[in-house]
Chains A and B, each alone.
Chain A
């Protein structure tokens, strides 16, 4: 049984905070849980905080893009926040530019970005 990452709800926004380096199975679980939660809570936005993540591989990079695509299908916007410089450089070197994913410097700016795009915003 591998670890599951908690998904928190603030208003109609789901917050996922990744606190440790990800294994492939954890990533797949997260993808599944997130899809379930978006539907269950009818969320408008998803924030993935990866400020604690120090190492990424192409699998995690693709996960971010996949999660964003899944949320878009379920009509929720995804913002990836708190990416470290080293992680950003690694992803660029891997050729993953995450075209469809919105990004923000930290959680606060990510929330602001979401509330600007959705009319309701967090309550």
Chain B
């Protein structure tokens, strides 16, 4: 029975001024977000949340993880996901929930002892709801980061066909084991798909080469050779050439060229294609 009374108190606290309370909540939050969310959208979000919260309290929910709170959690999840995607900070997201406490503060001055107790209980629930938004927020951010990292991995390793039987992988950015693995798989699959016997790995866009990167490159080249293709490494800048020598990295049995053009010329010669300049051609 006691629990039932609590619920009535809490609902009473939120329903005293009815719609006005929700409106002033929206007002508070609008101020804190600085107009970066549309007024209509914010109004809809918070009113839905408000109604769900009143409903949950009426059913006797006392904790954010309880069964009756499922609708509240759904609304909160949607709210924090939207905020995370729109680029708000975690505190700006949580403040949407905490603002409701500020709206209810007048109760502390004018309310009866029962009302104040009810306020404190509600404050505790709101705290846990606020923490819930932050958790969801970080979770969404993590998902976003993972998705972006995957996209980046896909984007950054295109395999292009330069000629019949000649493919190239222009590498841009730092090479680590995860990326090398993707590059290796893509390159080898492209060899099979296009039936190419010549592959060029262009490292113009790789800022630095250390022993590990060299090791990764060597593995890729050996794997390509096992499949019956010849690999050329191109795009070695003067600085990288100096680093390679200084580190004592041995590119045994691997042909290296300074530019992609040189590597292409070599690959064409190896596959038996002759390039002939037209006599009298004017450019």
Contacts and interface: CB of A to CB of B under 8 A. Distances in A.
Interface of A: 80-81, 83-85, 87-89, 91-93, 97-98, 102-106, 109-110
B188 A109 contact: no
B15 interface: no
Given A89-B184, A92-B219, A92-B222, A83 B197 contact: no
Contacts of A89: 184-185, 188, 223
A105 B228 contact: yes
Interface residues of B, number: 18
B189 interface: yes
A97 B227 contact: no
A85 B228 contact: no
B61 interface: no
A111 to B, nearest CB: 12
Interface of B: 184-185, 188-189, 191-192, 195-197, 219, 222-229
13 contacts: A84-B192, A84-B227, A85-B185, A85-B223, A85-B227, A87-B226, A91-B223, A92-B222, A92-B223, A97-B226, A98-B226, A105-B192, A105-B229
Given A88-B188, A89-B185, A92-B219, A83 B195 contact: no
A87 B227 CA distance: 9
A105 B226 contact: no
A25 B184 CA distance: 32
Say whether chain A's binding surface is mostly helix, strand, loop, or mixed.
mixed
A103 B223 contact: no
A117 to B, nearest CB: 14
B197 A88 contact: no
A88 B195 contact: no
Contacts of A109: 195, 197, 228
A83 B224 CA distance: 10
Given A85-B189, A109-B228, A97 B222 contact: yes
Given A105-B197, A106-B195, A85 B188 contact: yes
A39 B229 CA distance: 30
A11 to B, nearest CB: 21
A117 B195 CA distance: 21
